Amino acid sequence: MREAGTKAPRHAGTKGKRLPRSFFAAGPEALAPALLGQRLVRILPDGTRLAGLIVETEAYLGVEDRAAHSFGGRRTQRVKSMYQRPGTAYVYFTYGMHYCFNVVCGAVDEPVAVLIRALEPTEGLEAMRAARAGRPGKGGMVAARRDPARVVRDGELCSGPAKLCRAMSIDRSLDGADLVKDDRFFIETGRSADLEPRMIGRARRIGVDYAGDWARRELRWFVRGNPNVSRPPR
């Protein structure tokens, strides 16, 4: 994690300790800010290690949260991962072309989670650029709009929930993965200790205007001044 204005992270490439299940069991409002600065790691089938520090998260509070997929106790095929153990990955497909990734953080049958909205990329940037240059999601953009040669600036590589999934090759195959045990997908201790409270911002969640009062609640946390944050508040 770096403050605005400083150079590349000194500890890029550093491997941390894997976060234990007890860390993930904190519940969404505690886990969302606690995940800031932690390192999300993805090992590709060919062994390439991709990683980034988490710089933006959102809490989804479950059955009473109108913005949550589990609102009202919905227990559909799509959201089944949200009802699993803390530390489970909930990956869903949306808008016909994008994936988003959440960390489940409640007891079994308590469908709460934290959406990972942005990362500061630290390892495997080349592979990320290649993944982001092509077409998104499943079917992906029409021919007229896809541009395999398009250049994605580093600050835009993982600056959104679907962008980071694209950059890190996170798709449906990782839905339900156990982040505590899985060897392709996990979270390590990063540089959260460097984050003073004043460096953490809080704001409304993005893209949930349909959720009435729940749209107004400040359930989004982000690292102030970090260029990878998807939508820095005013």
Partner DNA sequence: ATGACGATTTACT
Partner DNA sequence: GTAAATCGTCATA
Q: Which is nearer to DNA, 17 or 234 (CB)?
A: 234
The pairs formed by 123-128 with CB atoms below 8 angstroms and a separation of 24 or more are 123/12, 123/13, 123/49, 123/50, 123/51, 123/52, 124/48, 124/49, 124/50, 124/51, 125/154, 125/157, 127/44, 127/48, 127/50, 128/50, 128/157, 128/158, 128/167, 128/168
Residue matched to tokens 């590589």: 157
Q: Helix (H, G, I), strand (E, B), or coil: what is residue 174?
A: helix
Interface with DNA, residue 84, by CB under 7 A: no
For residue 102, the minimal CB distance to DNA (Å) is 5
- The interface region with DNA, picked from 1-9, 44-52, 87-95, 119-127 by CB under 7 A, is 87-95
Chain positions 91 to 120 lying near DNA, rule: CB under 7 A, are 92-98, 100, 102, 113, 115
User: Which of residues 36, 67, 131, 170 is near DNA by CB under 7 A?
Assistant: 67
Interface with DNA, residue 228, by CB under 7 A: no
Which residue type is seen at 16? G
How many CA atoms within 13 Å lie on the side-chain side of 202?
12
User: Which of residues 39, 163, 191, 220 is near DNA by CB under 7 A?
Assistant: 163
145 Cβ neighbours under 8 A, 6+ residues apart: none
Q: Which is nearer to DNA, 29 or 189 (CB)?
A: 29
- The interface region with DNA, picked from 40-48, 85-93, 178-186, 188-196 by CB under 7 A, is 85-93
User: Which of residues 10, 15, 49, 74 is near DNA by CB under 7 A?
Assistant: 74
Interface with DNA, residue 226, by CB under 7 A: no
Residues pairing with 89 in the sheet: 103
Q: Which is nearer to DNA, 2 or 163 (CB)?
A: 163
Q: How far is residue 226 from each of residues 175, 176, 198, measured CA to CA in Å?
A: 28, 30, 13
Residues pairing with 58 in the sheet: 115, 220
Interface with DNA, residue 41, by CB under 7 A: no
Query: Which tokens go with 115?
Result: 């959406």
Q: Which is nearer to DNA, 20 or 207 (CB)?
A: 207
User: Which of residues 162, 170, 187, 195 is near DNA by CB under 7 A?
Assistant: 162
Chain residues binding DNA by CB under 7 A are 58, 60, 67-70, 72, 74, 76-79, 82, 90, 92-98, 100, 102, 113, 115, 132, 136, 138-142, 145, 147, 150, 152, 156, 160-164, 205-208, 210, 230
